Amino acid sequence: MKVRRTFLALGAFFVIGAGIAGCGSSTPGDAVVTMAGNPISVQALNHWMYVAAKSQSSGSSSPVIVPNDPPDFNNCIALVRKEVSSLAKTKTATLRNDCKQAFQQLSSQVLDYLIKAYWYQAEANKAGIKVTDAQVQKTLNTAKAAQFSGNPSGYTTFLSQTGQTNPDLLFRFRINAILQKLIAKHTKPVTTAEIQTYYNNHQSSFGTQPTRSLKLVLASSQANAAAAKKALESGQSWASVVKKYSTDPTTKSTGGVLNNVNKQQVESALATAAFSAPTNKLEGPVKGQFGYYVFEVTKANPGSQQSLAQATAQIKQQLQSTAQTAAQTAVDNQAKKDWLSQTTCRASYAMADCKGYKAPKTATTSTTGATTG
C-alpha cells in the first residue's frame, strides 16, 4: 500500500465550485492565509483537507490520513505507522518526506480554491454582483431534490460520507453562483459574423467527405499493369489477377477490394483518377508513386454537407463554450491582478496564489513510491 493513496488530488472534487465554511470566522493570528484582512484559519483548511480526503476514499477500505501538521509531520508519521501496517517500520525520514510532499500537494490544491473563493467574492463586490441567501438555498434544494428524490435519508448519508455540513454546501453553491455571474459578465455574445466565419473555415466538420469503394491492382510496371487489365477484360477474376500481378500489401489479400476511402486515404494520382471515374468501368493504367494502377469504382458515395443554417446551432454552442473558457481565464487573471498583492500566506502553506511565492525545486521521488491519487 502506498502512503499517499490515502490523500486527495482535489481537482474532481471542486469541479462545480467547492467552497469554504466559516473561513472568515477565525482570528488573524490563527490564519494560514489572509486576503485583504480576511483570514483562512488552520481549522478551516484542515476541515476541507479532510473533506477532500473523505471524498477520495469513498467506497475504499484505505484509512483516511490527512497530513496537516507541518513542518515536522510527527502526527502524520504516527498515523501512517498505526494505520498502514506494511509501513510500520519504514524510516522516519522517508515517511516525513512522504507526508511533506502529500501535504504540499493537497494543501496547495485546497488553498487554491479557498483563496480564489475570496478573490471571486471581492471581484463580485467590486462589480456590484449579488447572490442572496434565498437564491443559494433554492439552488441547493433543487440539487437535493434531483439527487435524492425518493430517498429522504440520502442527503444526510451524503454529508456523513463526505465529511461536509449543510453550511459547507451552501457556501459551495454561493461561490459557484458568484463565479458564473462573473464569467457571464466577461463573456462576449456570439455574433452572426463569427458563426459565418467559423463555418467557412471548418466546412469539412459539418458534413461527410465523398468516398469510393474500389477494386484495384497495383502493378510494379506499366507492362504488368497492361497485362493485368487485359486479363480482367478477358473475364479472369479479380482475385486471380490480383494474386498474380498486384504488389499492394493492403489489398492483395482481399482480392483487390478497398472500401469507403476518401481522397486523403489514397495517393493523389489514384485519388484524382478514382474520384472522377464512373462506376463499374475498368480504368488504367494510372501511374502512381508506387507503380501503376488498374482499378474499377464499385460504389461512389458523394458525401454530404450541412448548410450554414443547419450548422448554426452547433457552431453557436461551440463558440459560446470557447467564449466562456476565455471569460473564466479573464476572471481569474483580473482577480489575481487585483488581489494577489493582498494575499499573504504562512511560510509552511505557501503556494502559487500567495504574494511573493517562489516555486520550490522539484522534490526527489519518494522511496515508497507514494502518489496522491
Residue ranges of domains in the chain: 3-188+323-349, 210-302
- Which pLDDT belongs to residue 169? 95
3-state secondary structure the chain: CCHHHHCCCCHHHHCCCCCCCCCCCCCHHHEEEEECCEEEEHHHHHHHHHHHHHHHHCCCCCCCCCCCCCCCCHHHHHHHHHHCHHHCCCCHHHHHHHHHHHHHHHHHHHHHHHHHHHHHHHHHHHHCCCCCHHHHHHHHHHHHHHHCCCCCCHHHHHHHHHCCCHHHHHHHHHHHHHHHHHHHHHCCCCCHHHHHHHHHHCHHHHEECCEEEEEEEEECCHHHHHHHHHHHHCCCCHHHHHHHHCCCCCCHHHCCEEEEECHHHCCHHHHHHHCCCCECCEEEEEECCCCEEEEEEEEEECCEECCHHHHHHHHHHHHHHHHHHHHHHHHHHHHHHHHHHHEEECHHHCCCCCCCCCCCCCCCCCCCCCCCC
- Which pLDDT belongs to residue 58? 67
Model pTM score: 0.68
Mean pLDDT, all residues of the chain? 87
pLDDT in tens, 253-265: 999 999 999 999 9
Least confidently predicted of 21-30, 101-110, 113-122, 276-285? 21-30
- Which pLDDT belongs to residue 183? 96
Q: Among 3.20.20.70, 3.10.50.40, 3.10.20.340, 3.10.105.10, what is the CATH number of 210-302?
A: 3.10.50.40
pLDDT in tens, 233-283: 999 999 999 999 999 998 999 999 999 999 999 999 999 999 999 999 999
pLDDT in tens, 310-344: 999 999 999 999 999 999 999 999 999 999 999 99
- Which pLDDT belongs to residue 204? 84
